Amino acid sequence: MLQSKLFTRTERFAPKDEETVNAQLLTRAGFVEKLMAGAYNYLPLGLKVLRKIEQVVREEMNKIGGQEVLMAMMHPKENWEKTGGWQKIDVLFKVQSRTEKEYALGQSEEEIVTPLTMRRVQTYKDLPLAIYQIHWKFRDELRAKSGLLRGREFFMKDMYSFHKDQEDFNRFYEIAKQAYLRIYERLGLTAKVTEASGGSFSEKISYEFMVLTDAGEDKIYYCDACEFCVNQEIAKQKEGETCPKCGKGKLFAAMASEVGNVFDLGQKYGKDFDLGFVAEDGTKKYPVMGCYGIGISRLMGVIVEKNHDEKGMIWPEIASPMKVHLLGINGVSGAEIYQKLQTAGVEVLFDDRDANAGEKFADADLFGITWRAVVSPKTGDKIELKKRSESEAKLVSIEELIAAVK
Ligand code: ATP
Ligand code: MG
């Protein structure tokens, strides 16, 4: 990709109305552009990051047997009335047609996935099933001031599992929890797991996956010695107390962002739609369901909050919009290296602009692409290679460069 042709422009200053680092840096770098509070346009480099995060999530969902679908974003009112959501869910966006018919915009999809799945399930032998999608969600959030961390329109992975009984659900719940932890680890994030009582419809246990960051909107207590972690909203504990789990560590208070959660939905949705299956004993039963959400666009924002310096973003390799940012400076074009990297199948953004070295370096630091490769009169037939996260550069050959980034 040629930077001279790239559909974006970097800005020296962040928009005044952006309060969080993620929104400031992503906007300055031209990765996203705010359309209005809570809604962003994704430009080429921003979209690449979103797609990379999405792919990690997809791989881990597929590994545990998830099957990907794409459900409609616009829903009939009847489905939401059946579950009570039309009345009870305050963030639900409602749309009216010119024919006065009403619709809901998807904010979570139990109302759609339950009939979709259960119409295809006859007996217990058809279960378990885990169905997921990666799609936009709409929520009428009151405050949307945290950049990508809280959108009114945002990108989510939502999976729903269907089981013949509680025991089978419990088995899968644990598998899904582990898959979530793998996702965060692959993205270079440390997620703490809080245990919480369920959402509006269930008193069951749910788990929230929290990444510590001051940009987050959740207050948590965590133990400095073991994995104990609770959301302050529901906590019986106080800051400074001895950990109730290990009895050794102390509880610290921190701000965190919820990057995912998993819920035990029980039998509510099967019952609401009266869609059951024939159990082993021949009777009609309702499925025990789980739902598993991950905020993909929020994750993009959280990664920026956790990985930046005063010059810009610092992408972990797995989420970096490109593998290599190639700069030709002080009269050296770099076009030949660009060709070779492309032939070798390396994703590369080539700064071929007629700009001075200072400008090129500043953009490279702002974009935060994992590897920066510079060719200049000083580097001769070698290339100066540096990781955005490190300060030391080294001189390498084109072969060494390809080997290092592949
Ligand atoms: P929050 O407490 O932050 O509002 P939630 O409990 O409403 O989150 P869920 O309904 O379980 O969240 O949605 C699943 C995931 O989607 C969340 O864990 C989070 O990562 C993400 N998410 C939820 N709301 C938003 C939003 N408004 N903008 C971006 N991501 C969101
Ligand atoms: Mg919410």
- Ligand 1 atom nearest the C-alpha of 144 is 27
pLDDT above 90 as % of the chain:
96
pTM: 0.97
pLDDT above 70 as % of the chain:
98
Fold of 3-309: BirA Bifunctional Protein; domain 2 (3.30.930)
Q: What is the pLDDT of residues 22-53, one digit of tens each?
A: 999 999 999 999 999 999 999 999 999 999 99
User: pLDDT class for 195, splitting at 50, 70, 90?
Assistant: confident
- Ligand 1 atom nearest the C-alpha of 261 is 18
Mean pLDDT of 190-197: 87
What are the domain boundaries of the chain?
Answer: 3-309, 322-405
CA of 260 to the centre of ligand 1 (A): 7
Q: What is the pLDDT of residues 217-259, one digit of tens each?
A: 999 999 999 999 999 989 889 999 999 999 999 999 999 999 9
Kindly calculate the radius of gyration of the chain based on its CA atoms and give it in whole angstroms. 24
Class for the domain spanning 322-405? alpha beta
Q: Which listed ligand is nearest to 110 at the C-alpha?
A: 1
User: pLDDT class for 196, splitting at 50, 70, 90?
Assistant: confident
Q: What is the pLDDT of residues 198-222, one digit of tens each?
A: 555 546 889 999 999 999 999 999 9
How far apart, in whole angstroms, are the C-alpha atoms of residue 352 and residue 355?
8
Nearest CA to ligand 1 atom 29: 150
Instruction: Please give the full DSSP string across 233-281, using - where no structure is assigned.
Output: GG-S--TTPBPTTTSSSBEEEEEEEEEEEEEEEETHHHHHTT--EE-TT
Which residues have CB under 6 Å of ligand 1? 108, 139, 141, 150-151, 154, 156, 258-261, 293-295, 297-298
CA of 108 to the centre of ligand 2 (A): 11
Q: Which listed ligand is nearest to 154 at the C-alpha?
A: 1
